[in-house]
Amino acid sequence: MKYKLIQRANPQDRSQSKWYASPVNDGKVSQKNIAADIVELSSLSRGDVANVIESLLDTLPKYLLMGKSVSLGDFGTLRLSFTSQGVEDPQQFNTSMISTPKVVFTPSVDFKAKIEKVSFEKEATA
């Protein structure tokens, strides 16, 4: 994985700056590209794979909004989370104090192990 160095203010002492490694985004891979790769690994057609991915994307929010954690086997688990403002008295609380929910992904042990095998390479500068 490529990285570049970026100078930022030190969070402990804003009067100083330090250099931090930052991942280099090398573009996006589309759902269509992923489907094509899966077709090469299976006996399914491109349409079958695309249909399964679309159906998964249509179904996930339903379960997350029900308050369920969604386990995707060796990939990991998705769940919704949010924060809220605090109040002294429960009678003072209202739902406008709740932040917009965020999706939290927890990789499985196997998936995490594969990602941890990463090697780093500094981006070549022009």
For the stretch 100-122, pLDDT in tens is: 999 999 999 999 999 999 999 99
Taking alpha carbons only, the member of 102, 104, 67, 106 closest to residue 82 is 102
Name the pTM for this structure.
0.75
For the stretch 55-111, pLDDT in tens is: 999 999 999 999 999 999 999 999 999 999 999 999 999 999 999 999 999 999 999
Q: What are phi and psi of 6, to 5 degrees?
A: -130, 135
Residue for token pair 């990991």 = 76
Split at pLDDT 50, 70, 90, the class of 126 is low
